[in-house]
Homo-oligomer: A and B are copies of this chain.
Amino acid sequence: MTDTAPEPRSRNADRSQQAILEAARDEFAQHGLAGARVDRIAERADVNKRLIYYYFGSKDDLFLAVLEGVYADIRTAEQKLHLLALSPPDAVRRLTEFTWDYYIDHPEFITLLNSANLHQARHLRKSSRVREMNSPVIQTLGDILERGRKDGVFRGGVDAVQLYISIASLAYFYLSNNHTLSAIFGRDLMTGKARAERRSHICDVILGYVLKD
């Protein structure tokens, strides 16, 4: 009966929480954990600062909540890839392109992860939610590699975790460090052309590696 019954009391509550989370995500992404300001988060979210503490307890806990959110988001997106419906080479390419595209579309993901790692992931280790979210794509990728090997198109002995990390590496580092790289190489790595070249290069590297000669 009351399945779809809206709970009027919690409407604004949900909205406030959501607004805080989004504001916090942007603020943490932009300034890092230490550089982020609770005041600015309240301002961005257009809520009273006290409310942040009411809902999330502390700046650190809020940061954790943000991290859990962005992790859940990328897992959800991975889920929709349906890699098993593709041939092994296509699946690997698809995953590689998806990874790049996702980072491009969610630049905050990168700086948030960097912050988490600066603090030695002490936030994540506290979070059972994230550990349970353990990427199911690893299992899938393992299956694909195995099938490819059986089909005679993939080389053998490839560890799914290593490959998954490598795929992420090639996209992540370029975007995460684009400012210093651009400064050092004296060329803008974020023009449309440069990005297309990188995307293509990454696929070449990954497929050049997994494909049997």
Contact = CB atoms under 8 A, between A and B. Distances in A.
Contact of A185 (B161, B183, B205): B161
A173 B166 CA distance: 8
Nearest to A120: B179
A131 to B, nearest CB: 6
Given A180-B113, A180-B117, A159 B197 contact: yes
A58 interface: no
A189 to B, nearest CB: 8
Contact of A173 (B159, B173, B204): B173
A178 interface: yes
A162 B197 CA distance: 9
Interface class of chain A by DSSP = helix
B32 A183 contact: no
Contact of A131 (B131, B165, B183): B183
A63 interface: no
Interface of A: 31-35, 111, 113-118, 120-121, 124-125, 130-131, 133-135, 138, 155, 159, 161-162, 165-166, 168-170, 172-174, 176-186, 197-198, 201-202, 204-206, 208-210, 213
14 contacts: A31-B34, A31-B118, A34-B35, A116-B179, A124-B184, A131-B183, A131-B186, A133-B184, A155-B208, A162-B197, A162-B201, A170-B170, A173-B173, A205-B209
